[in-house]
Amino acid sequence: MAEDGKGEPVATDDDSEHLAVDGSSNNTMVEESCTLLRRMEICVAEAEKRSGKNAVNMQETFTVYLIETRPMDAVAEGRNPAPDSLWRRYSEFELLRSYLVVTYPYIVVPPLPEKRAEFVWHKLSADNMDPDFVERRRVGLENFLLRVASHPVLSNDKILYHFLTEEHGWKEVVYETGFQAKADSRLRALSATFRVRNTDKRFMDMKHYSDELQSHTSQLLRARARVADRLYGVFKVHGNYGRVFSEWSAIEKEMGDGLQSAGHHMDAYAASIDDILEEEEHYADQLKEYLFYAEALRAVCRKHELTQFELEMASQDLISKKQQREELATGCERFSFKGMTNKLFGQEAPEQREARLKLLEELIAEGEEAVKEKTVECEEHVERAWVDMQRFEEQKDKDLREALINYAVMQISMCKKGIQVWSNAKECFLKM
């Protein structure tokens, strides 16, 4: 199951562009390899609070999300069957993603929405149970599923399919794949980064870019949160005008009405910031997605370093074994443990030498196999990863550009609201 994606030729970039609408894949393989999203309408419809006992038998409250799926052809034909649905917790999404990351190390795997609310401006709740946070997370989870299901490689994965269709027993199935054993240890990966010699320049550039992307998006998110905080203050202080105008209007005769109504508009102005900033959170979420995407991109680059490193190690090992064979065969061993014991205990017998040579030959044969395997692994990784990184880059440019346009639209809307309120207030002032 986990190998599903590997055997097939990688689909072209067009796939990712066609989502639920028209999923004509250029993949010439069997029906199954069309992106899942073509066959199935997916959405994360609701969120609900549940309580139950956790792993250490303690009572806890958590949120579950309702995943609804419907066969696409039914929708296209106009039939409206009830969707199949099941409930999943955030931790199950995490498990799915971990599985995908290990199983497809050459794919920039879409990220999950954040586990805890970060980059909050002060008024926004950092509470995981806060309904606004839950709602945004629901949207984020749906986005994750749509991205995965429309990915030319990931969408064919059986575990993904089970995740969407089989409520019970899914976890067991995932564990049975043994993916956890395949996960690269952090230590190995880190060691590889420092010790690898010949890495593909494109990957190094991409790794550097992922650092930049992460740095800039997180800087931006922090700065935006601070700006939101300050803007909130500016708007709210204007609310005080409302109160004082009201009090002042009480002692005025002709001016009274105008002042009073103007005061109401000032109150409205102060209140409007809440909605404005709530809407802006959507923009922040889009930035966050790419902040986390940067991490996924870096992971692919690191995997390259690791495979390359392992190849280098295997080659190095083969070389040193061959060298040993040479020395043994020609009888001039350089300083070695065997040489030492020979000096101490006397020369070894020819039978022993033969045994050692035979062992070496076996090891060399194994080593050559290993090098072949590693080479293939490395090359395959480079090839596939490069394709997906290109796909990712295009997607990123398109998505972020749209996000920026939407941000501009939001700003314009805010300006229009401001003009409206102040024009209303001006009308009232003119009537004073």
Partner 1 sequence: MSVGAPRGLASSGQKPITEILHPLSAAEEPISPGPDVTVNVGGEKEAVLTNGTPVETSSPASASSLFNRLQLDDDLEADARDPYASMETRDLFVTVDDPKKHVSTMETYITYRVSTKTTRIEFDLPEYSVRRRYQDFDWLRIKLEDSQPTHLIPPLPEKFVMKGVVDRFSEEFVETRMKALDKFLKRVADHPVLSFNPHLNAFLSAKDLNKRQGLALLTKVGESVKHVAGGYKLRARPAEFCAMGEYLDTFSQKLGTIDRIAQRILKEQSEYLTELREYGTVYSSWAASEEELRRPLEGVAGCVTTCCGALEDLSENMSQDFLPVLREYVLYIESMKNVLRKRDQSQAEYEGRLEAAILRKQEDRTPMPIEVEKCQDKVECFNADLKADWERWQSNKRQDFKQLLTGMADKNINHYEKCQAAWESLITLLQDKQTEDKTSETN
Positions that interact with partner 1 (CB under 8 A): 209, 212-213, 216-217, 219-220, 223-224, 226-227, 229-231, 233-234, 237-238, 240-241, 244, 247-248, 251, 254-255, 262, 397, 400-401, 404-405, 407-409, 411-412, 415-416, 418-419, 422-423, 425-426, 429-430, 432
Q: Which CB sits closer to partner 1, 61 or 240?
A: 240
63: its two tokens: 């949120």
Query: What torsion, rounded to 10 degrees, do the Cα atoms 194, 200, 204, 207 define?
Result: -100
Q: Which CB sits closer to partner 1, 205 or 373?
A: 205
DSSP per-residue letters across 401-427: HHHHHHHHHHHHHHHHHHHHHHHHHHH
Q: Which CB sits closer to partner 1, 188 or 230?
A: 230
Q: How far is the CB of 146 from partner 1 (least distance, A)?
A: 22
Buried (b) or exposed (e) across 107-138, using 16+ Cβ within 10 A? Answer: bbbbbbbbeebebbbeebeeeeeeeebbebbb
Q: Which residues contact 87 (CB under 8 A, 6 or more apart)?
A: 48, 64, 65, 66, 67, 167
Q: How far is the CB of 258 from partner 1 (least distance, A)?
A: 8
Q: How far is the CB of 407 from partner 1 (least distance, A)?
A: 7
Q: How far is the CB of 77 from partner 1 (least distance, A)?
A: 31
Q: Which CB sits closer to partner 1, 45 or 409?
A: 409
Q: Which CB sits closer to partner 1, 295 or 377?
A: 295
Q: Which CB sits closer to partner 1, 126 or 415?
A: 415
Judge contact between 284 and 124, C-beta under 8 A: no
Q: How far is the CB of 39 from partner 1 (least distance, A)?
A: 27
Q: How far is the CB of 251 from partner 1 (least distance, A)?
A: 5
378: its two tokens: 């490395």
The tokens 């991109």 sit on which residue?
297
| Long-range CB contact pairs, 329-337, < 8 A, 24+ | 329/357
Rounded Cα–Cα distance for residues 246 and 240 (Å):
10
Q: Which CB sits closer to partner 1, 204 or 409?
A: 409
Q: How far is the CB of 383 from partner 1 (least distance, A)?
A: 23
Q: Which CB sits closer to partner 1, 240 or 323?
A: 240
- Give the chain's length: 432
Q: In what order do the strands lie in the sheet with 84-89?
A: 40-53, 59-71, 84-89
**In Å, how far are 5, 34, 97, 135, 144 from 104, measured between CA atoms?**
8, 18, 10, 30, 16
Closest C-alpha among 53, 37, 66 to residue 134: 66
Cβ neighbourhood burial of 159 (10 Å; 0-12, 13-18, 19+) = buried
Q: How far is the CB of 117 from partner 1 (least distance, A)?
A: 20
